[in-house]
Structure 1
């Protein structure tokens, strides 16, 4: 007995290899003088082809595998056989990661197989460890598992590799198709199929898988089967991790007869006594269907593979595939070969179900193999009349889809690279399932990311196109103050100049109406008013609204707006832009001084005549700000600052009832006398004039 055969029995418990080809592959890998490329169908024993040589080699075999779940399953199996194996991945606890890295830093590590994902292999955190192992000559082999792509030979730079391939035909699998549309009760039919399939195996042994397209479908089918007497558990990404683990564990231990799952289940699960695989929904491609159905009968005993076909599934899945193709084409702006392949593969699956032909022959021809000897291993070869009767009944209910054309093998060694999960041209059909089977991203994180993208897109649409406007600088003779300032977004110099001209024209019209003094410089006054509005506004809309408010107040000047002085600065008192350069104790700043003497007040102005509550810094205006000069002047007025504070109170009292010109000093004085006479004692008599 050779060392290879001894290791096969002592470490893996097998007396002999599963096939002669598997033994040839192991011998070639152990010899190690050439690279080896292995293409075998599901259940042919590909993993053993690199695991057994790893046990015999000095050093570490680095295994690259796409899924963490697949890696963990193989690591658990190896550790159960006392073979030193571990994995470094993103879900590994920190303490366990440190322990593994410490072992890898030793001169003679205990590990025999180290599993990593492609992302971990390329990560900067793992590169130093890999470089250290390579520099010390501790990497004995590199194995790439589940290499579903055509360019694997070119990517790995394989030089004249030995190629091993196996025909896809498996004589122990019995295929049949049932048209669900013509069944009176599909769930009862599925229950009978499961009972019959499990009855073929030894008593108390055997189990099966029912594949569904959606999570809701998994829940519904599992519930119906349980009610009919079959112990079934659902398995999908919507369940908690603990519930999924429990469901898989019960199924692996034989406590559950059927596990109802999405297509992600079964990847890397090595359970030999799977007696049936039923597809409750149509698979996305014939390649995917072959891989999923191939999880049955790995022990070489007979197993049943059934598809429940319906026109509704066909139409829905076809629509999803075309929609996804259109989305990707719109994103990249061009059409690629994989777009056409996606549709062709789905049409091949439809043809597999609808045509009158041997099921095994259809699969073999799809992958480029010759026609096998079915020998009654499919429903058509057993009884073609039953298949024809189903097709005729289904034709009355739905429109049949034309058969798809098979294509020639296109792989690097004369085989179809989509032999397993659809390969690179498989177009990622798992994205159409609610459970993608990927351990890289959690389902909740995906939904959270999608919502964030949608929210940002909507907010961007609300803000506009986002094109930044170019600021046009002012002319050399621009009269505006701070004309080059861009403190208010989207406010142009042209808009400010327009507002300035609007203010000036209003002031000019009031000067003609004698509201302003003849000596007033309306140009300078308009510039100061515009600048004050510019400094107090934070947006272009608020700026324009404030300017219109000033214009409206100026137009009401005939109703009592006093003459706004030229200039602003620190002596400005009113926050609305109509400011006093300095408080005049001889006149009032009330905007409705003449309303008391004209005898009529419009209803719209009644509220403006109401006395406002005076708070800190509030002088009855909309702006609570007051300068220090105003506060001192007001304190002087209230405390009775001598004859100067009431210098106008003793002049001709009879003029209080006389008509007054709006905005004139006499109007202000008359209103003050009338107000103070009712609420306060008369002011002291003015001092006699000096001679």
Structure 2
């Protein structure tokens, strides 16, 4: 290859890649070294430092030669090809399983011609090992058409690398067959041990080494402890909005808008986090391997183009994606090793502007990962010298370093510089510790205190967990940090030596702070205990199984489960009665009572509860189950084959629950709460007695007064139609639209006419016809026992009668969450009111989508009204007495979430798949 001066190189850089200057002298010198063709080259540069350019520019400058680039993922290759072919107009191609035979023949034809147009050929290591590629490479080598071979993500070659791949190891043997070919190794994450491994495994002889220090001065790192957060998703949303503030929103192109990545460990977590943030109003989508290819491409393109600002993804997302405007990278779960954490967080701030990297730390997640890593270690057997065992052991050690770093107060950038063997960084307040070390220490102490108190609960830990934590924390944090990991060298004077001590000798001031902290924690424990007592009182009388485990699904309550259980019972009853009207009737094998339907519903609800990990998934599964039963044409198989069983009490013994709470929160806390409850009860009784003694006798005339009750007149109503929402007076069209929908609903529930001679004759004819029809239906229904429903949806206290003669109060009103509809009036009138309330909630929720133009069609207003009627009837027909505002809004949001591009164009599309 010919040599280039600095000026000539800059011109070529501008010509092909539109850059005025190189990002660093190291980048420029690496390119010169490759162009000289004399040595193998090792390049280690942080994400965003321009390492890809180091081989791309030399490849373009070689005449009639093709350079081979080995990349681990097809997704990475696709991103590189899109960049080179579309943006830079540089001919580049690939040979892999995703391309058609026609495209493959075209590529091979070009490579075999005298004058090759393709400058860069991207392949995976698996493709390199195939016979067809080996034959092609021999042919190109024979006619001197190979420029060089670049091994991207070269840390995959090393067994000590965080992303080791066996096929990468075979590259060393292949390279040995072509010693004259120049090889280039590139990585962003390689400590000293991995670097030595790469050079040895690829058979490099005296290579040129170019390494950029790992410190990224534009990235601000901090750690947040999840158990100190009051409302995790609200706080996360506020932080995202703060980081993505755009100083020039009007002048910025959509593709240049600041955006964010949230990394989660599991696919389920990406969905639940994305859904929670969407409900809070953020433009957010999930990305994981479970999505269809077309859906993944759409989500990625929308994020790249600025249509979606936040993407919640598993850790594979982002490799090879060059998005210059990522302002925030959040790790919702802890990374499993330092190299992965550095690579993933490094996707922020590629344009050099200040960006943010936050890790949310939680010991529950630590337990889970440690358990899995120990499982991998145990699977390796007793052969401690095998490569598999060494890799598993190394993975556990790497994770321990991450945990140790999160539970210490030390500059966050030091984690990386020490790992990669670089000198200590000049952080200059670019992490939470260097900015305010004292506050970080207080937060850590709070975290450790709460974690210690939580671990004193009654939950039985598994043997694996017990072993994991003894090993992971060297005796546990409660032992006062007896030891440190060898990873942090105590004799290294260049680092902060006092970071490892979490419990220091307290001065007088510190003692006061500690006392204050203890008082606050006692208050917090008391508050949590009060909530737990309230929760477990409900659980102790609940119909649902595993009621005491309800709190394990964040946001789910026993009351919510009771409501969904009632909807299931209603659906089963409806299915059974409809099936009895078929010809021939479809009836159960054994006579079924209402209690049997309840047993079937309880088992179905428990199945949905056990199979979900988030409250949103629970709600969705229960809704799907209910609608499936209601829409079933024949008798449901569970009813048909049901064998009645003895009824069991599913809640829990309240005394046992109280003892459990005492163990969790302390006897002093629970006893104080019980005393407070008792005192309030006594005060209330005294007040009632006083009122009864002084109350005047009611006049007989007032007793016989009639209270006129009717449907409220919308024209005379001065307040807004929708509860708790203010409607802009200027928005007349919106008000009219909502009014017309509600009036349509109200027409169906107008009070009966006053009897007169004319309509009495009409009623007599109708009742005669109705009696005949009822007689036919009654004959069919006599074939199965009638289900006496009574009031299906009473309180848990009234429904749960434990095989005793306990006398229940006559008038019990249903009470659930604050948003539930409560029954305290005559049934017919109350149902009318409930229908009106449901309709109001539906219209208010749909109105947001209507104004966002997500309800479209030839007549969007008519479609809006049709959808509103449909949703109102869905919830009114199922049972209006237990429907909450959250149930309705969740259902509507779920439909729009599933809809194509989030838009409804016809009534048939408005459904949950």
TM class, shorter-length: 0.5 to 0.7
| Residue from 119, 122, 138 that aligns with 2:126 | 119
Paired with 2:107 and 2:284, the residues of 1 have a C-alpha distance of 39
Which residue of structure 1 lines up, in the alignment, with residue 93 of structure 2?
86
Confirm whether residue 179 of structure 1 aligns to residue 225 of structure 2.
yes
Paired with 1:78 and 1:12, the residues of 2 have a C-alpha distance of 9
Paired with 1:306 and 1:154, the residues of 2 have a C-alpha distance of 36
Paired with 1:93 and 1:371, the residues of 2 have a C-alpha distance of 51
Paired with 2:217 and 2:348, the residues of 1 have a C-alpha distance of 12
Whether contact under 8 Å (1:201, 1:275) holds in the other structure is no
Q: Which has the higher helix share?
A: 2
Paired with 2:133 and 2:488, the residues of 1 have a C-alpha distance of 41
Confirm whether residue 405 of structure 1 aligns to residue 477 of structure 2.
no
Which residue of structure 1 lines up, in the alignment, with residue 408 of structure 2?
355
Paired with 1:152 and 1:363, the residues of 2 have a C-alpha distance of 19
Whether contact under 8 Å (1:361, 1:371) holds in the other structure is yes
- Give the number of the structure whose alpha-carbon radius of gyration is greater: 1
Which residue of structure 2 lines up, in the alignment, with residue 255 of structure 1?
307
Paired with 1:106 and 1:184, the residues of 2 have a C-alpha distance of 66
Question: What is the DSSP-based 3-state SS (H/G/I as helix, E as strand, rest coil) of the residue aligned with 2:81?
Answer: helix
| Residue from 76, 81, 105 that aligns with 1:70 | 76
Question: What is the DSSP-based 3-state SS (H/G/I as helix, E as strand, rest coil) of the residue aligned with 2:261?
Answer: strand
Q: Provide, for residues 539-567 of structure 1, a one-character-per-residue CA deviation record: whole Å limited to 9, x for no partner.
A: xxxxxxxxxxxxxxxxxxxxxxxxxxxxx
Paired with 2:446 and 2:138, the residues of 1 have a C-alpha distance of 64
Residue correspondence of structure 1 range 52-451 to structure 2 within 5 A: 52-58=57-63, 59-80=65-86, 81-148=88-155, 149=158, 150=194, 151-199=197-245, 202-203=248-249, 204=252, 205-329=257-381, 334=386, 336-399=389-452, 403-406=484-487
Question: What is the DSSP-based 3-state SS (H/G/I as helix, E as strand, rest coil) of the residue aligned with 2:69?
Answer: strand
Whether contact under 8 Å (2:380, 2:389) holds in the other structure is no
Change (3 A) 1:71 1:249: same
Q: How many residues align?
A: 408
Q: Provide, for residues 259-278 of structure 1, a one-character-per-residue CA deviation record: whole Å limited to 9, x for no partner.
A: 00000000111111100000
Whether contact under 8 Å (2:383, 2:389) holds in the other structure is no
Query: What is the Cα-based RMSD across aligned positions, in Å?
Result: 1.8
Whether contact under 8 Å (1:348, 1:405) holds in the other structure is no
Structure 1 residue ranges without an equivalent (≥5): 409-691
Change (3 A) 1:320 1:336: closer
Q: Provide, for residues 491-521 of structure 1, a one-character-per-residue CA deviation record: whole Å limited to 9, x for no partner.
A: xxxxxxxxxxxxxxxxxxxxxxxxxxxxxxx
Q: Provide, for residues 342-367 of structure 1, a one-character-per-residue CA deviation record: whole Å limited to 9, x for no partner.
A: 12211111122110111112221122
Paired with 1:20 and 1:254, the residues of 2 have a C-alpha distance of 33
Confirm whether residue 25 of structure 1 aligns to residue 71 of structure 2.
no
Paired with 1:12 and 1:91, the residues of 2 have a C-alpha distance of 27
Change (3 A) 1:260 1:13: same
Whether contact under 8 Å (1:344, 1:404) holds in the other structure is no
- CA-CA distance at 1:336 after TM superposition: 4.1
| Residue from 44, 47, 54 that aligns with 1:49 | 54
Which residue of structure 2 lines up, in the alignment, with residue 617 of structure 1?
none
Q: Provide, for residues 625-658 of structure 1, a one-character-per-residue CA deviation record: whole Å limited to 9, x for no partner.
A: xxxxxxxxxxxxxxxxxxxxxxxxxxxxxxxxxx
- CA-CA distance at 1:3 after TM superposition: 3.1
- CA-CA distance at 1:195 after TM superposition: 0.7
Question: What is the DSSP-based 3-state SS (H/G/I as helix, E as strand, rest coil) of the residue aligned with 1:142?
Answer: strand
Which residue of structure 1 lines up, in the alignment, with residue 868 of structure 2?
none
Give TM-score, length-normalised by structure 2: 0.44
| Residue from 3, 8, 12 that aligns with 1:3 | 8
- CA-CA distance at 1:156 after TM superposition: 2.9
Give TM-score, length-normalised by structure 1: 0.57
Whether contact under 8 Å (1:181, 1:311) holds in the other structure is no
Change (3 A) 1:54 1:407: farther
Question: What is the DSSP-based 3-state SS (H/G/I as helix, E as strand, rest coil) of the residue aligned with 1:398?
Answer: helix
Question: What is the DSSP-based 3-state SS (H/G/I as helix, E as strand, rest coil) of the residue aligned with 2:131?
Answer: coil
Change (3 A) 1:231 1:370: same
Question: What is the DSSP-based 3-state SS (H/G/I as helix, E as strand, rest coil) of the residue aligned with 1:283?
Answer: coil
Structure 2 residue ranges without an equivalent (≥5): 1-5, 159-193, 453-475, 490-913
Which residue of structure 2 lines up, in the alignment, with residue 572 of structure 1?
none
